[in-house]
Every structure is written in structure tokens, then in C-alpha cells.
Amino acid sequence: MKTATLASIRDHALRDLPNEACGFILNADGNEKVFPVRNMHDKPAESFAVHPGDYLEAKRAGTLLALYHSHPAGPAAATRIDTLACNRSGLVWYVYSVPDETVSKIVPAGRAPLHGRPFVWGVYDCWTLVYDYYQEKLGITLPDWEPYEEDFWEKGKNYYVERYAQFGFVPVQDLRCHDVLLMQLGGRVKMPIHSGIYQSNGTLLHHVPGRLSTSDVYGDYLRSMTNLVLRHGSLL
């Protein structure tokens, strides 16, 4: 990282206090450039979420070299979530500590396997499992999705139903391997707030909060929780 780049990241981190600053380092016409983005996290002083529109603008502005974010009150050492998110992004990450005025570098080590990954909202959750499964098993890269609130259903949002079409899925009546199921979790919330992938051995690959991702038998209980069966358009 060039000295001027680090200086720009430091300035951005100070401007955004007490919140975490975030952005990208680009190669724009052969020059290293800092591209600040908006932090859309519900608790921006504790974490960050890149604004999806800013992410697309950054990609148009140059080649993404790295992502950076700040720790407003802590050291530059990467947190567990930082490391997991870096692995999934495939980008080098830099973490800048405001109080220490130091920076650390995280190099991605590859995505977690589909089974046994820890649950981290927005990094490794039920929908990112669908995204990674389709890319790894079927070679289908689903469109990027906009970040959404962890408790979106309590705010009257029904994102799974509203967005499945934009990812190329259509509702079907029968059930085949690779179909995506939209489901309730328990009986309290009646809209779908969970997703999983039906497999040929009659199991559901899914990722429930508080558990490692796993395959469970798709029996009577999971069937009773299923709201929609979806099939990708390329598999019709």
C-alpha cells in the first residue's frame, strides 16, 4: 500500500468517527486510488456493510484491489468476522486502527466449505449458502444482493418473496435436486425468512442461526415450514 493511500484511508476513518469507515482500493488507469463508500450497517459504530450502489460504482471506476475498513476504538487486528468475510470476498482486506494509527492486512484463504461453516449474518448465513452452492456445484453465479437487516421481518419486509425473481428463480410445484426452498423458522413468523437447497438424497442443505451449516432430512416438519419451492431458470 502506498503512503498516499494509507493517508487517504486515515483521513476517511477520522471523518467517519465514531462509525467505522469502509471503502475500496482501486487500480484506476494504472494509479492506486482510494474509493470511500457508505457504511449501511444497522450499527455502524460496531461493524460495516458496503452500500450496494457504491460497490457497483467502485467496480465501474477501476479494478478492485482491496477492501478497507476502520476500527474506531480498537486495534488493527482482524476480528474473526473480518477474517471470515475476507475469505468469502476473495479480496485482500486492510484494517485501520484509529487510536493506534496502524494498519493490518488480511489475505483471503478461500471460502468455507458448504457443510460446517459458522453462522455470521451477511457473511455465512442461509442465503450466502445458496449463493455459494450454486456457484460451486452448478457453476451459476447469482446476482449480487443488497444487504438487508437481520430482523427485516419485524420491520414488515418480505425480502425473500420480493427478490427471488431478480436472482433468476421461478416458483414450481414439484421438487427436484438443486431447488431452493423458502421457509419459515418455527411458528412465530409466518413469512419465509429462511432458505435451503434440496438435495438428491432427500435432505435439505441449510444454515440456521446459531448452528453450523448442515444437511437435515427433509421430513414432515421441514415440509410444514416450506412456503415456496423455487427453481433457477437455467434448470427448468
In this prediction, residue 132 has a pLDDT band, given cuts at 50, 70 and 90, of very high
Q: Are residues 66 and 167 in the same domain?
A: no
Q: Are residues 229 and 132 in the same domain?
A: yes
pLDDT tens digit sequence for 68-120:
999 999 999 999 889 988 988 889 999 999 999 999 999 998 888 999 999 98
Q: Is residue 228 part of a domain?
A: yes
- More reliable by pLDDT, 74 or 152: 74
What is the rounded average pLDDT of the residues 49-55? Answer: 89
Q: Are residues 83 and 161 in the same domain?
A: no
Q: Is residue 190 part of a domain?
A: yes
pLDDT value, residue 1: 86
Looking at 106, 137, 168, which one is the last position of a domain? 106
Q: Is residue 96 part of a domain?
A: yes
Q: Are residues 25 and 101 in the same domain?
A: yes
Flag whether pLDDT at 35 surpasses 90.
yes
Q: Is residue 57 part of a domain?
A: yes
Q: Are residues 213 and 178 in the same domain?
A: yes
Asked if omega into 18 is within 30° of 0 (cis), the reply is yes
pLDDT value, residue 138: 96
CATH of the domain at 40: 3.40.140.10
Whether this model's pTM surpasses 0.85: no
Q: Are residues 177 and 131 in the same domain?
A: yes
CATH of the domain at 214: 3.90.1720.10
- More reliable by pLDDT, 126 or 149: 126
Q: Are residues 143 and 192 in the same domain?
A: yes
* Rounded percentage of the chain residues whose pLDDT exceeds 70: 97
Q: Are residues 206 and 139 in the same domain?
A: yes
Number of C-alpha atoms within 13 angstroms, CB side, residue 34? Answer: 20
Q: Are residues 216 and 165 in the same domain?
A: yes
In this prediction, residue 158 has a pLDDT band, given cuts at 50, 70 and 90, of confident
Flag whether pLDDT at 147 surpasses 70.
no
pLDDT value, residue 146: 66
Q: Are residues 100 and 189 in the same domain?
A: no
Q: Are residues 47 and 130 in the same domain?
A: no
pLDDT value, residue 13: 98
pLDDT value, residue 159: 84
- Give the residue numbers spanning the domain of 135: 126-235
Give me the torsion for CA of 209, 168, 225, 186, rounded to 10°: 30
**56: its cell numbers:** 457497483
Looking at 106, 137, 167, which one is the last position of a domain? 106
Looking at the structure of the chain, the number of domains it has is 2
Q: Is residue 219 part of a domain?
A: yes
The DSSP line for 109-163 is --PPPSSSPPPBTTTBSHHHHHHHHHHHHH---PPP-----TTGGGGT--HHHHH
The residue among 41, 110, 44, 94 whose CA lies nearest residue 72 is 44
pLDDT value, residue 52: 83
Q: Are residues 206 and 153 in the same domain?
A: yes
